Structure 1
């Protein structure tokens, strides 16, 4: 069990390659009884899939899933009084900056969790869940993740983030809420 100390109203982002195992890790997170909102794009995808025709391919409504997911992040950052635990690959710099802005504007401490897996493990995870992303998109994620891994190996969080924790698939996560 990996214990991570966070402030009561933190924005905690669980990031990593698509297929790394973020959703699985989030499903087993222990918040120690602290109030927490967990936001995963799979929640939005599942709701939309139930409303839309079953023959409609995911690639058609994927942009809507991402938009609604990000709007939910902003909404809960503004309205929730507890922890906000967000699933987001965050390999793209603009995504990380946007999340930093949400944290700053809502007065939340920002903790970046990186689920570190090889591209092969992530691809295997995509196959296992039955949802592969396009190879060009995955290659971009991999290239950006490689740059992040260099930063993380030096123990430095991305710009604007106050803390960094690097996790593996074998880790189980416990968030310990400590006074700010």
Structure 2
């Protein structure tokens, strides 16, 4: 484990993040006593109007939600890859590794290396000055807090696009893609995303955030795209 942590710090330039004391994650995500930015909130749940989400060029977009909620689908369908726009999706990294390795090899064996490659790619994208769209599992508030700090340091803003779908819908999505997370992991994701939705509904996110957009499945399906201008 120590060697893996050391490799992680070497590849990504980030140190290992130890377990936080009680309340630390709540403070970062905007709940609890610590102050957080009050950001612009756009709630599109219950609508199916064709629209394009527009953000300032160079900003960071985090797409978050339950496993199976449609995050990767939304990113692939809505975000065009350009020299000035980077898509960072751990699922795409996993698929690239899986295509190069024997099919019988369990994902758990090479998962640490997929994560290292994912975060190394994210770090490079952030340093490039391009607009960045990031796939977020929703359960790691420290990632969103780190992205918000990095955006603030570079004079940019972080925007959250949150997919709010029922757990049953997310489970069906997992079945359709042929990958199911464990019951324990899914419960952990449910708790984290429920808190994230509560924070988003009040517009409270880490300092450095600019806006939050809440989508259900119909609103996400109606998106024409995501544009930076």
TM-score normalized with structure 1 length: 0.87
Point out where structure 2 has 5 or more consecutive residues left out of the alignment. Answer: 1-49
Residue 67 of structure 1 is matched in structure 2 by 116
Residue 177 of structure 1 is matched in structure 2 by 228
What value does the CA root-mean-square deviation take over the aligned residues? Answer: 2.1
User: Contact conserved, 1:11 with 1:85, CA < 8 A, in 2?
Assistant: yes
Residue 149 of structure 2 is matched in structure 1 by 101
Distance 1:124 1:114, change over 3 A: same
The one of 52, 55, 58 aligned to 1:9: 58
Point out where structure 1 has 5 or more consecutive residues left out of the alignment. Answer: none
The one of 23, 33, 39 aligned to 2:88: 39
3-state SS in 1 of match to 2:217: coil
Return the alpha-carbon distance in structure 2 between the equivalents of residues 39 and 8 of structure 1: 16
User: Contact conserved, 1:157 with 1:163, CA < 8 A, in 2?
Assistant: no
Distance 1:28 1:157, change over 3 A: farther
3-state SS in 1 of match to 2:147: helix
Structure 1 runs of 4+ aligned residues shifted over 4 Å read: none
Return the alpha-carbon distance in structure 2 between the equivalents of residues 173 and 91 of structure 1: 27
1:59 shift after superposition: 2.1
Q: After superposition, give the CA deviation of every residue in 1:65-123 in whole Å (9 maximum; x if it has no partner).
A: 222112211111102x4311111113322121122233234443211110111111111
Residue 48 (structure 1) aligned with residue 97 (structure 2) = yes
How does 1:124-143 map onto structure 2 within 5 Å?
124-143=172-191
Q: After superposition, give the CA deviation of every residue in 1:100-153 in whole Å (9 maximum; x if it has no partner).
A: 233234443211110111111111111110011111111001011111222222
User: Contact conserved, 2:85 with 2:131, CA < 8 A, in 1?
Assistant: yes
Distance 1:68 1:105, change over 3 A: farther
Residue 24 of structure 1 is matched in structure 2 by 73
How does 1:134-153 map onto structure 2 within 5 Å?
134-153=182-201
Aligned residues: 176
Return the alpha-carbon distance in structure 2 between the equivalents of residues 118 and 85 of structure 1: 24
Return the alpha-carbon distance in structure 2 between the equivalents of residues 30 and 53 of structure 1: 31
